[in-house]
C-alpha cells in the first residue's frame, strides 16, 4: 500500500505538501462561513446543551457526594447500633449470670433449710421415741412393782415390810427417770 502512495507522488499526482493560494482562500472562507452559520443558528444550542450537560454532571457529582455522606452517616449509625447491641448483650449475659448465681444460692439455701428441717424432725422423732420408750419402761416397772407387791401381799408380809417395799420401789422408779 505504501508503494502505491510513493508511486503516485513520484508521478506528480497528489502533492500533499504543496500550497495552493486559491485553495487556502476558499478553505478559509468556507470555514468562516460555516463558523458564522453555526454561531448564528447552532452555537447557542450547542453551548446550552454543553451547559446543561455540565450542570447535570455537577448535580450528579453533588448527589453522589450527598449519597456518600448519607452512606457514611448510616454506616456510623449502624456501627453505633452494633456497639450498643454488643453492650446490651453483655448486660444481658451479666444479668443472666447474676440471676443464675442468685438461683443457685437460693436452691442451695433451700436445700440447706430442708436438710436442717429433716434433721430437726429426725431429732424430734428420736426424742419422742426415747420418751415413749422411757414411758413404756416406766409403765413396765410400775406393772412389775405391782406384780411384786401383789405377790408379797399374797405371802402376807407385815405392814412395815410392805411400806418399806413400796418406798424402795418408788425411789427406784424416780432414779430411773
What single string gives the DSSP state of each residue in 38-73?
Answer: IIIIIHHHHHHHHHHHHHHHHHHHHHHHHHHHHHHH
pLDDT at 71: 94
- Print pLDDT tens along the chain (177 aa): 555 555 555 555 555 667 888 888 999 999 999 989 888 888 888 889 999 999 999 999 999 999 999 999 999 999 999 999 999 999 999 999 999 999 999 999 999 999 999 999 999 999 988 888 888 888 877 887 777 767 666 666 667 777 787 788 777 777 765
pLDDT at 167: 80
Q: Determine the Cα–Cα distance for residues 61 and 58; give it in Å rounded to an integer.
A: 5
pLDDT at 11: 53
Question: In the chain, what are the helix, strand and coil shares in percent, each to the nearest 5?
Answer: 90, 0, 10
pLDDT at 102: 93
| DSSP H helices in 15-42 | 21-37
The grid coordinates of residue 146 equal 405391782
Handedness of CA 76, 79, 83, 88 (dihedral sign): positive
- Enter the pTM of the model: 0.39
| Residue whose entry in the numeric block shows the C-alpha cell 452517616 | 73
Contact between residue 173 and residue 141 where contact means Cβ atoms under 8 Å apart: yes
Q: DSSP assignment, residue 132?
A: H
pLDDT at 77: 94
**Closest to 16 (Cα-Cα) out of 5, 28, 26:** 5
pLDDT at 171: 79
Sequence spans of domains, the chain: 2-176
Amino acid at each position: 500500500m505504501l508503494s502505491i502512495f510513493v508511486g503516485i507522488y513520484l508521478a506528480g499526482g497528489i502533492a500533499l505538501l504543496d500550497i495552493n493560494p486559491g485553495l487556502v482562500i476558499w478553505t478559509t472562507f468556507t470555514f468562516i462561513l460555516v463558523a458564522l452559520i453555526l454561531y448564528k443558528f447552532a452555537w447557542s444550542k450547542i453551548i446550552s446543551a454543553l451547559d446543561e450537560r455540565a450542570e447535570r454532571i455537577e448535580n450528579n457529582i453533588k448527589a453522589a457526594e450527598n449519597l456518600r455522606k448519607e452512606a457514611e452517616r448510616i454506616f456510623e449509625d449502624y456501627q453505633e447500633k452494633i456497639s450498643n447491641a454488643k453492650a446490651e448483650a453483655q448486660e444481658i449475659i451479666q444479668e443472666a449470670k447474676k440471676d443464675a448465681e442468685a438461683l443457685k444460692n437460693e436452691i442451695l439455701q433451700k436445700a440447706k433449710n430442708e436438710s436442717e428441717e429433716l434433721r430437726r424432725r429426725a431429732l424430734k422423732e428420736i426424742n419422742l421415741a426415747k420418751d415413749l420408750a422411757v414411758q413404756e419402761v416406766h409403765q413396765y416397772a410400775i406393772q412389775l412393782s405391782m406384780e411384786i407387791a401383789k405377790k408379797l401381799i399374797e405371802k402376807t408380809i407385815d405392814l412395815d415390810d410392805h411400806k418399806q417395799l413400796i418406798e424402795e420401789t418408788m425411789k427406784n422408779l424416780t432414779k430411773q427417770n
